[in-house]
């Protein structure tokens, strides 16, 4: 389907109630549950790796609900990207831990946003009252870039490229007391600026960007996620403290603390984590990717 047609449909869908969008997303999820596909396969592999103690029946239940939630993630973009900002942020029903956004005068803030719940709505709400500068990796399909970038910047965020110039601007923003949002569970493309650290007991190539930023700028670090409420009622944003060891001088210790923080959040809301992501694709030398077909 041509991208322009997809965007037109998404824009129209944005004006129907969120509960209908989520219902449609769950229906899409059923399709992915019934038929063999990449998302179902990767989800099963990740769940077996991360929850080896689960019986097969429990694992399948978690897999199925996770895939339905993935459908909700897809459809709710219509209600977040393509409607007026006030209407979209009106879907936020509660914010817990907002006091963690407070910091010393002139101190920057790093907000770690795992692929949990609806991270997009935090990226829309936070720039309304904070100066947010974040790294941005364009979509693989160039036709999507302009639309996605405009949608994510429309409440005041500034998106910068994932290269040296972009990282430099993040440093500058934090030193001026600004905010940056980072997806801490995104696998780096290479081991440059990253180390292997355990995530659910599995070696995962983990970024050191947050560690380097906090050590060089003295920024405060917190976690955040937006819980998707049942019945399409909206979202509950949670801000939580991050482990102090994320700033450790030992890179492995810092990465381990980062992953432990993400793991703790995921364990509190496992059905809303993006299990279809190949988090463990890159493995230490001599180890095979768990996603490789045998």
Please determine, for residue 191, whether its predicted confidence score (pLDDT) is greater than 90. no
Burial of 65: CB neighbours in 10 Å, binned 0-12, 13-18, 19+: middle
Instruction: Give the per-residue pLDDT at 2.
Output: 65
Instruction: Give the per-residue pLDDT at 269.
Output: 97
Give Cβ neighbours of residue 54 (< 8 Å, ≥ 6 apart): 47, 62
User: Is residue 213 within 8 Å of residue 180, measured between CB atoms?
Assistant: yes
User: Is residue 116 within 8 Å of residue 272, measured between CB atoms?
Assistant: yes
Lowest mean pLDDT across 23-37, 91-105, 150-164: 150-164
Which CA distances in Å does 177 have to 154, 180, 216, 218?
21, 10, 13, 10
Whole-angstrom distance, CA of residue 77 vs CA of residue 93: 17
Tokens of 78: 């219509």
Whole-angstrom distance, CA of residue 248 vs CA of residue 215: 8
Give Cβ neighbours of residue 155 (< 8 Å, ≥ 6 apart): 85, 89, 124, 125, 127, 128
Name the region of 169 (left: φ>0; alpha: ψ -120 to 50; beta: rest).
Answer: alpha
Please determine, for residue 175, whether its predicted confidence score (pLDDT) is greater than 90. yes
Please determine, for residue 142, whether its predicted confidence score (pLDDT) is greater than 70. no
User: Is residue 66 within 8 Å of residue 117, measured between CB atoms?
Assistant: no
Please determine, for residue 3, whether its predicted confidence score (pLDDT) is greater than 80. no
Whole-angstrom distance, CA of residue 262 vs CA of residue 48: 18
Q: What is the pTM of this model?
A: 0.94
Please determine, for residue 143, whether its predicted confidence score (pLDDT) is greater than 70. no
Whole-angstrom distance, CA of residue 190 vs CA of residue 177: 30
> Radius of gyration (Cα) for the chain, nearest Å?
19
Whole-angstrom distance, CA of residue 51 vs CA of residue 59: 8
Summarize the confidence of residues 69-85 as an average pLDDT. Answer: 92
Give Cβ neighbours of residue 198 (< 8 Å, ≥ 6 apart): 204, 256, 259
Please determine, for residue 144, whether its predicted confidence score (pLDDT) is greater than 90. no
Tokens of 244: 């102090």
Domains present along the chain, CATH in parentheses: 3-272 (3.40.1130)
Interval 192-210: pLDDT, tens: 889 999 999 999 999 999 9
Interval 220-260: pLDDT, tens: 999 999 999 999 999 999 999 999 999 999 999 999 999 99
Q: What value does the mean pLDDT of the chain take?
A: 93
Whole-angstrom distance, CA of residue 250 vs CA of residue 278: 26
pLDDT band with cut points at 50, 70 and 90 for residue 1: low
Lowest mean pLDDT across 78-82, 99-103, 136-140, 183-187: 136-140
Summarize the confidence of residues 90-117 as an average pLDDT. Answer: 97
Lowest mean pLDDT across 11-20, 202-211, 264-273: 11-20
Query: Which is it for the CA torsion 160, 164, 170, 176, positive or negative?
Result: negative
Task: Decide which of 143 and 287 is more confident.
Answer: 287
**Cβ neighbours of 186 (radius 10 Å):** 17
Instruction: Give the per-residue pLDDT at 151.
Output: 86
User: Is residue 251 within 8 Å of residue 105, measured between CB atoms?
Assistant: no
Please determine, for residue 86, whether its predicted confidence score (pLDDT) is greater than 80. yes
């Amino acid at each position: 389907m041509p991208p322009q047609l997809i965007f037109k449909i998404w824009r129209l869908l944005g004006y129907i109630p969120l509960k209908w969008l989520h219902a449609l997303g769950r229906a899409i999820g059923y399709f992915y549950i019934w038929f063999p596909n990449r998302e179902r396969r990767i989800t099963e592999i990740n769940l077996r790796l991360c929850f080896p103690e689960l019986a097969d029946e429990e694992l399948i239940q978690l897999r199925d609900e996770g895939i339905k939630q993935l459908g909700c993630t897809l459809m709710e973009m219509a209600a977040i990207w393509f409607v007026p900002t006030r209407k979209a942020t009106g879907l936020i029903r509660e914010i817990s831990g907002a006091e963690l956004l407070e910091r010393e005068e002139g101190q920057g803030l790093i907000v770690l946003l795992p692929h949990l719940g609806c991270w997009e709505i935090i990226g829309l709400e936070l720039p309304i009252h904070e100066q947010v500068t974040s790294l941005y990796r364009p979509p693989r399909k160039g036709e999507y870039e302009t639309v996605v970038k405009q949608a994510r910047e429309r409440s005041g965020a500034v998106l910068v490229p994932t290269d040296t110039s972009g990282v430099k601007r993040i440093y500058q923003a934090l030193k001026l007391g600004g905010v940056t949002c980072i997806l801490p569970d995104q696998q780096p493309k290479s081991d440059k600026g990253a180390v292997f650290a355990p995530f659910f007991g599995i070696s995962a190539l983990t970024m050191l960007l947050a560690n380097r930023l906090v050590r060089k700028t003295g920024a405060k670090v917190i976690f955040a996620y937006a819980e998707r409420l049942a019945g399409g009622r909206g979202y509950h944003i949670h801000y939580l403290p991050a482990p102090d060891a994320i700033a450790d001088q030992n890179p492995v210790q810092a990465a381990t603390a980062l992953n432990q923080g993400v793991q703790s959040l995921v364990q509190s809301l496992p059905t809303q984590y993006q299990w279809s992501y190949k988090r463990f694709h890159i493995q230490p030398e001599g180890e095979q990717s768990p996603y490789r077909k045998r």
